Amino acid sequence: EVQLLESGGGLVQPGGSLRVSCAVSGFTFTNYGMSWIRQAPGKGLEWVSRISDSGGSTYYADSVEGRFTISRDNSKNTLWLQMNSLRAEDTAVYFCARRDGYPGYFQHWGQGTLVSVSS
């Protein structure tokens, strides 16, 4: 069974940093690109970042470019999102998701982890 489990969310002050993790199981992690997608309270879905299966290619939404870094360790079956210079508008539930097919869609999602940015 494919499983994705996020962790690391919490309350952080504006300007602070936080790293969220996504531990996966039930599939060969090295074969799949991954993405982070977020949802602010009461709002819609927003794609944040993606990383290729090898980790060699990364892309970011304009709203987080230069502040967030996506990475992965295929030996640990883990995906990360390092978030720096956090702003109130980054408050959201952060989901990790596996990219399937081409150009890609998301059939498998984690349950999400809440990141709150507030003083």
Partner 1 sequence: QSVLTQPPSASGTPGQRVTISCSGSRSNIGSNTVDWYQQLPGMAPKLLIHSNDERPSGVPDRFSGSKSGTSASLAISGLRSEDEADYYCAAWDDSLHGYVFGTGTKVTVL
Least CB distance to partner 1 at residue 16 (A): 25
Q: Does 62 bind partner 1 (CB under 8 A)?
A: yes
Peptide bond into 103 cis (omega under 30): yes
Q: Does 101 bind partner 1 (CB under 8 A)?
A: yes
Nearer to partner 1, 7 or 13 (CB): 7
Nearer to partner 1, 27 or 109 (CB): 109
Strand ranges inside the chain, DSSP E:
3-7, 10-12, 18-25, 34-39, 45-51, 58-60, 68-73, 78-83, 92-100, 105-109, 113-117
User: Which stretch in 11-19, 22-30, 83-91, 94-102 sits in contact with partner 1 by CB under 8 A?
Assistant: 94-102
Q: Does 112 bind partner 1 (CB under 8 A)?
A: yes
Nearer to partner 1, 61 or 77 (CB): 61
CA distance 11 to 87: 12
DSSP letter assigned to residue 26? S
